[in-house]
Amino acid sequence: MSNNEISTTIYGEIEKDLPLVTNSLKELSDDIGFEFLEKMIEQSLSGSGKMMRPALALLAGKLGNYDLEKLIPLAASVELLHTASLVHDDVIDRADARRGNETSNILFGNAAAVMLGDYMFAYAAEFITRTDNIHVVKKFAATLMMMVQGELKQDVTVFEYSEDVQRYLDRITGKTASLFATAAEGGALVCNVSETEASALYSYGINLGIAFQIVDDVLDFSGDPELMGKPIGSDLKSGTLTLPSILYMQQKPDDNPIKKAFEGQRKNSNLNKAISDILDGAYIKESMATAQKFGAEARNCLDTIDNKETVDTLNQLIDYVLDRKI
């Protein structure tokens, strides 16, 4: 089965309900009365991919009272928060493409893209209030703060070669994994799932999200540039150390081309040398082993959940995350 085929069947029992989330997101551009904003929103949402985070919320709801009136706005909020963060990331990173498509900042300018992200954050907050669950609203606010902290940690360490594995894991926990966890736990909370299972789903989301980001960072080196929509080693070239490059620096501390490049010495040639070394060495394999470890931890979190169909789907989602090529 190809990667694309997996992506259309991975969500099992809740797949039929995901279009309801997509329809809710269309509210953003309906009847705004401001054509330019409508165009920006439509463009930014057109890149929505596999809807993994909304799917987590719906799957979690299957363990309790599956209430779509609460789950759909929660799932839409999570996806919108994710999309808004990408819009802001692209402005910060001065990115000109994402998955092969021009970014909002390229199409509309940095100032407009920042305001677009702000508008989407605000709408995501409005969506979350429709759950009528104060605990979920608090979780949403805490997650947004964690995501901002994660992004700030990345930005303040750009071209900083002292990054270590633990700091990297802390950063991606905030920037990426926290939203996976909130989606899963939030779906449980709005559907009155037991406290034990809600906690297990939160831990599942954290571990799945970390695995997801590690694989994403591996693909930045080893993925197909045409599928990824960006050149090999884009993160490193922009000054961001991810797990493969951190392992490379730790295992080759002397005369390291990344350190030289970050210090301004023959930047392009040294970074190209580092990328070549990383691909030729065991760093990709070691990084994937770490992703597999977090995938196994996510799997262990499901041991306390007594719903075979949903657990099977959540396990299949782990497999997909670890095997994906884009």
In the chain, what are the domains? 3-315 (1.10.600.10)
Residue range 4-24: average pLDDT?
81
pLDDT tens for residues 106-151? 777 778 888 888 999 999 999 999 999 999 999 999 999 999 999 8
Q: What is the model's pLDDT at position 45?
A: 82
Name the more confident of 125 and 94.
125
pLDDT at position 86 is: 85
* 32-76 confidence digits (pLDDT tens): 778 888 788 888 887 656 899 999 999 999 999 999 999 999 999
Residue 97 clears pLDDT 90, i.e. is over it: no
Give the whole-angstrom CA distance, residue 114 versus residue 69. Answer: 31
> When comparing pLDDT for 154 and 78, which is higher?
78
Dist CA 187 CA 52 (whole Å): 13
CB 86: neighbour CB atoms within 10 A?
18
Cα 220 from chain centroid (whole Å): 14
**pLDDT at site 9:** 74
Four-residue CA torsion sign, 32, 37, 39, 43: negative
**217-235 pLDDT tens trace:** 999 999 998 888 788 999 9
Residue 267 has pLDDT above 80, yes or no: yes
- pLDDT of 96 > 70? The answer is yes
Mean model confidence pLDDT for the chain: 91
Output the pTM of the full model.
Answer: 0.93
Is pLDDT at 300 greater than 70 in this prediction? yes
- Has residue 163 got a pLDDT over 60? yes
